[in-house]
Amino acid sequence: MKTMKSKFLLMAGVAAIATSAAMANAQSYPPLAPLGDPPIPLDNQQSDAKVELGKILFWDPRLGGDASTACVTCHEPDQGWGFGDSLSRGYPGTVHWRNSQSVINSAYLGQLFWAGSAASLEKQAPSAAKGAVAGNGENDVMETRLAFIPEYVTRFNDVFGTEWPLIGDAWHAIAAFERTLIVNDTPIDLYLAGDESALSEEQIAGMALFNGKAGCIQCHNGAQATDENYYNLGVPPAERWETDGLAQVTFRYEIFAKGVTQEMYRKLKDDPGLYFRSKEKDHLGKFRTPPLRYTAYTAPYMHNGSFWDFEEVVEFYNAGGGENDFTDGTMSSTKSPLLKPLGLNEEEVEQLVAFLEAFSGDELEVEPPVLPPYEALASE
């Protein structure tokens, strides 16, 4: 009896220590918070006319190479304002090489794209529209097209005061529109603002796991549920690289175009991630922590769309992440030490999944615009 009592006391002590550690863990990171209004840059103030122009341009494929690929082509409203396949849609004749991220709430981010290669929405738009396997556009061609559309000539003049549309102003208008794509009335927002009925008991239990045992708060913190830092999680290479010839060609093209050593070009088996920007081998396979907001609508998940629902994601973390392989054959040599087996049981997995669903409110629906036609320019 004494032995049983001692074991019980020991287990209770371990549980208390674990609970205290979890609370300390949550307190050492920025807490989850309601999402306020997005920041507006001083050099691109909002106006109704600018937002409306940006909306039309977001849907217009003439801002691209062959006038077939618009922003909305890879960021479809009915697919979470992203693209519902593991790899995004590519420019005709190609396949993209990464998963398309949602533009919902992107106005709050300081780093855009999976490797943070754009610091603002104004810089993200041309990077996508001109990217070889995305829009493949050329500035002069796109600008000339806009000039042959009288409605655009009028709208750009009204918004920017220019005689003719300028391509740089087009990116500013699109960015202004994207800053209106905000979802900040989710169950988690309501709960954190004081409405205790906004979350179910299961979701509240999941939040405790999120902040404690599961350790999600270590990277998914703050109002956007992202620290915007970079980690290698050991996500395996894209499956389509094994079966889709075009996807493999795109992967090879990208690692050549973005710059690697000859040895890496021959042997590289996985997406180098942040390495492309820094050329630091410690950054191989690292990607920016994605926000958790609106993710109920944005499957599949991870930079290459490896997981198709929240349960798969949670089970991946529960197992301590995975393994990936870079040039020297060392498995996951840059994998984050934060990833360790979590020991979540089946009920806890369900609770955590339920809590993740609280980051998404109702779907954001926007009526598509009518695109203005080309017309002959009026003679003087």
Enumerate domains of the chain plus CATH numbers: 48-178 (1.10.760.10), 184-357 (1.10.760.10)
DSSP E strand boundaries for the chain: 230-231, 287-288
Identify the band that residue 13 occupies on the pLDDT scale cut at 50, 70 and 90: very low
Contact 340, 233 (CB under 8 A): no
Is the pLDDT at 15 greater than 80, yes or no? no
Is the pLDDT at 218 greater than 50, yes or no? yes
Beta bridge partners of 302: none
Q: How far apart are the first and last CA of the chain?
A: 103
Percent of the chain topping pLDDT 90: 77
Residue type present at position 98: R
pLDDT, tens digit (0-9, with 9 covering 90-100), for 285-311: 999 999 999 999 999 999 999 999 999
Contact 215, 25 (CB under 8 A): yes
Is the pLDDT at 100 greater than 90, yes or no? yes
Provide the pLDDT for residue 18: 38
Both tokens assigned to 196: 């205790």
* Triad 289, 220, 237: Cα angle to 5°: 35
Any idea how long the chain is? 380
pLDDT, tens digit (0-9, with 9 covering 90-100), for 44-59: 999 999 999 999 999 9
Provide the pLDDT for residue 325: 76
Provide the pLDDT for residue 262: 82
Both tokens assigned to 93: 């004749």
For residue 226, give the nearest of 299, 290, 296 by alpha carbon.
290
Is the pLDDT at 134 greater than 90, yes or no? yes
Both tokens assigned to 142: 């796109």
Provide the pLDDT for residue 3: 43
Provide the pLDDT for residue 380: 57
Provide the pLDDT for residue 265: 83
Contacts of 46 (CB under 8 A, 6+ apart): 40, 176, 179, 180
Is the pLDDT at 16 greater than 50, yes or no? no
pLDDT, tens digit (0-9, with 9 covering 90-100), for 311-361: 999 999 999 999 887 755 555 578 999 999 999 999 999 999 999 999 999
Contact 138, 65 (CB under 8 A): yes
Contact 118, 95 (CB under 8 A): no
